[in-house]
Structure 1
Amino acid sequence: MEQPVWDDPAFSAGTMIRGALWLLQVVGEGNTFTKNQLRDAFPGVSQVDRRIRDLRDYGWVVYSNTEDASLFAEDQRFVKAGIAVWDPKARRAAAPQKAISNKDRQAVLARDSFMCTLCGIAGGEPYPDDVVMTAVLAVSRRTVSGADGRETEVLITECKRCRAGRGDAPIDVKEAVAAARELGPGELRRFLRWMERGRRGATELDRAWAAYLRVPPGQRKEIADQLITVK
């Protein structure tokens, strides 16, 4: 289906769909917009912010200052487009599933120790490679293909960055087993210890780097000056 123009008077669609087109055609991926710009684009529409948030159910990624600390409270960043919601067939195929209850969400977060099951980051923790962004956790539905090929649906904890970068392909148990079998004896023993603890262990190098990143940039030279003498 050809992409309609977001403000075409002849285009009859709801605010979520026209909002998606506005993000693509006016804002552009990677750029920021303000809540006032959004309200000006859709005058008289109540809860237009919520309609934009609804796009997340269709794979659209829009960050507020909660996910990206470099943004002001009034700003949002359009990170990535998702399903073409203006196409009825695509929208129906990607329609969000039944909402996860708050009780189930809290139970899954507690089971996963309030950490992303993919990268291991805890909620509210800054990313080691991007200290201005802190992790926001979400509970997602994922399909798992077991060793016998049978598929089941599970709930898992993911940070929003991992969730945005992850495709919809099923999680394959056989792939995980095959990858582990490629490890050497020492690596496999370490991997089994991680499995026993239920979380990945950080190396001394990982811990040192994380501690270095927590120091403000203006003071990092002091660390370098002290360590140069150690070499």
Structure 2
Amino acid sequence: MTPPAWNDPKLKAGTMVRGALWLVQVIGEGKTFTKDQIRNAFPGISQADRRIRDLRDYGWVILTNSDDATLVAEDQRFVKAGVPVWDPVARRAAAPQKTTSNKEKQAVMARDDYMCSVCGISGGESYVDDSNQTAVLSVTRRETVLPDGRERTFLVTECKRCRAGNGGDPARADEALADIRALDPDDQRRLRRWIERGRRGSTALDRAWNAYRRLPSDARDEVRTALES
């Protein structure tokens, strides 16, 4: 996988990934860099230096003056690159694994109302587009980029199909917030009401469409015929 440019505005990645690319493409192995350089490279990103230090969990060798007496307090040395974290597959395979207890799993599923946090299907429920397949839920770890650029991993409830389809890309709270702020004031107020209720509001048209979609294929044919007559 060819690494993207660290400062590509189209790059959908968190500070840790962009920091890794910056180290490789700007600093170079064996060279030193300072916190000022990090601040200049990632303006407005709080704790960008910490996100770069997180690369150590992926085999990157980055030394401070506590590791190398020749360095001053402000300097760090990029010794060696590790896992190419800009590759979602490689990053996911190398991510530090933590054991999730059954108690934690049950608490996460209860918090998510025993529904997939991506598509909203319940465990054992048939998919609308494939009535022969039922949802199997599990608790997984989802990398997430927060609005301030921090990267965190959260436990979420996902069905098997959504888990297989996410491609390893992080959830983007920063992009979600930007999309919300781009809405006009009326739509923002409507969305805030949905957020407060914990569910989307629906119109009579929405409810009729959802009721129609839940019907078996033959029953949908009967409805279409009745509407055409």
TM-score by length of 2: 0.52
Q: What residue in structure 2 maps to residue 115 of structure 1?
A: 115
Q: How far did residue 154 of structure 1 move?
A: 1.2
The alignment partner of 2:139 has SS state of strand
Question: Helix, strand or coil: the match of 1:152?
Answer: strand
Identify the residue that residue 179 of structure 2 maps to in structure 1: 179
Q: 2: CA distance between counterparts of 1:151 and 1:92?
A: 14
Q: Is the 8 A contact 1:128 1:213 kept in 2?
A: yes
Q: What residue identity is the alignment partner of 1:183?
A: L
Structure 2 match to 1:165: 165
CA displacement 1:70-121 (0-9 Å, x = unmatched): xxxxxxxxxxxxxxxxxxxx69944782332111111001111112222222
Deviation of 1:182 (Å) = 2.4
Equivalent residues in 2 for 1:1-40 (5 A)?
none
Distance 1:166 1:112, change over 3 A: same
Instruction: State the match for 1:69 in structure 2.
Output: none
Distance (whole Å) between structure 1 residues aligned to residue 221 and residue 148 of structure 2: 54
What is aligned with 1:210?
210
Q: Does the 8 Å contact 2:118/2:162 carry over to 1?
A: yes
Q: Deviations over 1:127-150 (max 9, x none)?
A: 233333222222111222222222
Q: Distance in 2 between matches of 1:139 and 1:103?
A: 11
**Structure with max Cα Rg:** 2
Q: Quote the Cα distance in structure 1 between the aligned partners of 2:162 and 2:111.
A: 19
User: After superposition, where does 1:1-231 map in structure 2 within 5 Å?
Assistant: 93-94=93-94, 97-229=97-229
**Number of residue pairs matched?**
140
Superposition TM-score, scaled by structure 1 size: 0.51
Query: RMSD of the TM alignment (CA)?
Result: 2.7
Change (3 A) 1:173 1:92: closer
- State the AA in 2 paired with 1:105: K
| Partner deviation per Cα, 1:7-53 (whole Å, 9 max, x = no partner) | xxxxxxxxxxxxxxxxxxxxxxxxxxxxxxxxxxxxxxxxxxxxxxx
SS of the equivalent of 1:144 reads strand
Unpaired runs of 5+ residues, structure 1, are: 1-89
SS in 2 for 1:157: strand
- Secondary structure of 2:116's aligned partner: coil
Kept in 2, the 8 Å contact 1:131–1:213? The answer is: no
Distance 1:225 1:113, change over 3 A: same
Relative contact order (C-alpha < 8 Å, sep 6+): which is higher? 2
Contact 2:109 2:139 in 1 (8 A): yes
Quote the residue 2:35 is aligned against.
none
Tell me the distance in 2 between the aligned counterparts of 1:159 and 1:93.
20
- Secondary structure in structure 1 of the residue aligned to 2:174: helix
Counterpart Cα distance in 2 of 1:118 and 1:91: 21
Which residue identity does 1:166 align to in structure 2? N
- Report if the CA contact (8 A) 2:92-2:168 is conserved: no
Maintained 8 Å contact 2:127/2:134 = yes
Unaligned runs of 5+ in 2: 1-89
Rounded to whole Å, the distance in 2 between the matches of 1:187 and 1:124 is 34
Q: Equivalent residue of 2:155, what SS?
A: strand
CA distance in 2, matches of 1:132, 1:178: 38
Residue pair 1:144, 1:173 contacting (<8 A) in 2 also = yes
